[in-house]
Structure 1
Amino acid sequence: MGKVLIADDHPLVRDGLRTVLAVALDRCELFEASDLDEVIRIIDREGDFDLILLDLNMPGNNGFAGLSTLRARYPSLPVVMVSATSDRQLVHEALRHGAAGFVPKSLPRGQIAQALRQVLEGDIYIPSDLTDAPPPTQSGEDQEILRRIDTLTPQQRKVLELVVAGRLNKEIAFELDVTETTVKAHVSAILQKMRVFSRTQAVILANKVNFAPSPGTAQASARAAATP
């Protein structure tokens, strides 16, 4: 079951994306919005979504202002930009503002379906003919990734170490003697500071710079895994 919000002010475009999602996802639960205010109201009312499809020129979006707003309010929620126009600079800007991908409306439906599945698996989608515009999570040097990690508080760093070690939120809460709600708050802050949209992307970045759990954290993780 996927939970997806289609945000576009054109009913025909929403109809087309509904058809694509019916192919891409089994039993997909769909929501629709025609402007940014409605997007925010729906997310606040319905809770977490697996994916947001955001039209570049939808009312309230104003270029990438809407994308920036959603990334700031919901840092763990993947937002894919959908646009009738596309070029390398536009794709680069979308990814720089935190998009999980960029899908031209001109793509065949099968390719759009594949792109959305790719994002749901934790990857960033870029059209093959626009790959010269690299995603922001991969465009900088390792020093930039390390700089982002350095902005984490000591507790957030411990949480990241356990996320990299493959621990679930409830296991992290047990190890650090905090509530799951606290762990979720730390994870959201980590995603925002690392400028990624999912735990998977955070792990990819951490592994890229060989970020590894400290000996104490690794030992604690091993003890937890061995506990019945």
Structure 2
Amino acid sequence: MPKFLIADDHPLFREALKGALSPLYEAVEFTESDGLESTIESIERSGHLDIILLDLSMPGCENFYGVIRVCGDYPHIPVIVISASDHPKIISQALAYGAKGYVSKSAAVASISEAIDTVLNGGTWVPEELKNQIDNISDEQQEIAAMVSELTPKQFLVLNYLQEGKLNKQIAYDMSVTEATVKAHTSAIFKKLKVNTRTQAVLLVEKLQTNI
């Protein structure tokens, strides 16, 4: 019995995708998540998954952290990114960070099914019309992604707050933790990213972003 994880923060999209795929896969079992934290919990709880259909922009997945973290921690489970964007630069980065396929949310069900079948059989799938536009990303971006993959979800959340320019006191309030905990997370971030200041950390992670 195949088991698919649909990781997307829009319940209606998850329901629509389940409804579209159910007739195509005999006795398929679906599990769902709506953010990075619940995705990791679902992976751990499921025991066995055949494929993960992952949204790039759900909570906790900013700056490609979701695909970096899931693909890095669970390399034995193939990931297909299903995103609202079909820009070649974004597809290139998602594939470079470990995704085995990339499908636009506007794609026909037949295309999504083709992507799933291709990836389940060990292949890689991107829209035919975009194949010639996929580029290799820079060594620097690969190195940054490797460092970012070492951050825990809490540390990545703190890093996002740093990008927003928030003070430790504000971050502590938003996370319901002490300022000492925020400082500890910040120190860990600096060490893992090999930087010394907030500004350096923010500028580094911004290099993962795709300006389109």
TM-score of the superposition, structure 2-length normalised? 0.61
Residues 49-103 of structure 1 deviation map (CA, whole Å, 9 limit, x = unaligned) = 1000010111111131011111221111101111111111111111011101001
Mapped contact 2:89–2:135 kept (Cα < 8 A): no
**TM superposition shift of 1:118:** 1.4
SS of 2:63's partner is coil
Q: Go from structure 1 to structure 2 and tell me whether the alpha carbon gap of 1:67 and 1:88 turns closer, same or farther (over 3 Å shift).
A: same
User: Which amino acid is the alignment partner of residue 122 of structure 2?
Assistant: G
**TM superposition shift of 1:20:** 2.6
Looking at structure 2, the residues matched to 135 and 118 of structure 1 have their Cα atoms a distance apart, in angstroms, of 21
1:22 aligns to what? 22
Looking at structure 1, the residues matched to 60 and 73 of structure 2 have their Cα atoms a distance apart, in angstroms, of 15
1:70 aligns to what? 70
2:38 aligns to what? 38
Q: Go from structure 1 to structure 2 and tell me whether the alpha carbon gap of 1:54 and 1:79 turns closer, same or farther (over 3 Å shift).
A: same
Gaps of 5+ in 1: 140-228
Gaps of 5+ in 2: 138-212
Alignment pair present for 1:106 and 2:102: no
2:203 aligns to what? none
SS of 2:32's partner is strand
2:92 aligns to what? 92
User: Which amino acid is the alignment partner of residue 107 of structure 1?
Assistant: A
SS of 1:132's partner is helix
Q: Go from structure 1 to structure 2 and tell me whether the alpha carbon gap of 1:63 and 1:13 turns closer, same or farther (over 3 Å shift).
A: farther
SS of 1:26's partner is coil
SS of 2:132's partner is coil
Residues 6-53 of structure 1 deviation map (CA, whole Å, 9 limit, x = unaligned) = 000001110121023213311101000011100101111111210000
Looking at structure 2, the residues matched to 106 and 50 of structure 1 have their Cα atoms a distance apart, in angstroms, of 23
Alignment pair present for 1:5 and 2:5: yes
What RMSD in Å do the two structures reach over aligned CA positions? 1.7
TM-score of the superposition, structure 1-length normalised? 0.57
1:183 aligns to what? none
Residues 160-207 of structure 1 deviation map (CA, whole Å, 9 limit, x = unaligned) = xxxxxxxxxxxxxxxxxxxxxxxxxxxxxxxxxxxxxxxxxxxxxxxx
SS of 1:131's partner is helix
**TM superposition shift of 1:132:** 1.6
2:82 aligns to what? 82
User: Which amino acid is the alignment partner of residue 30 of structure 1?
Assistant: F
Equivalenced residue count is 137
> Deviation above 3 Å: which 4+ runs of structure 1?
133-136
User: Which amino acid is the alignment partner of residue 88 of structure 1?
Assistant: P
1:188 aligns to what? none
2:129 aligns to what? 129
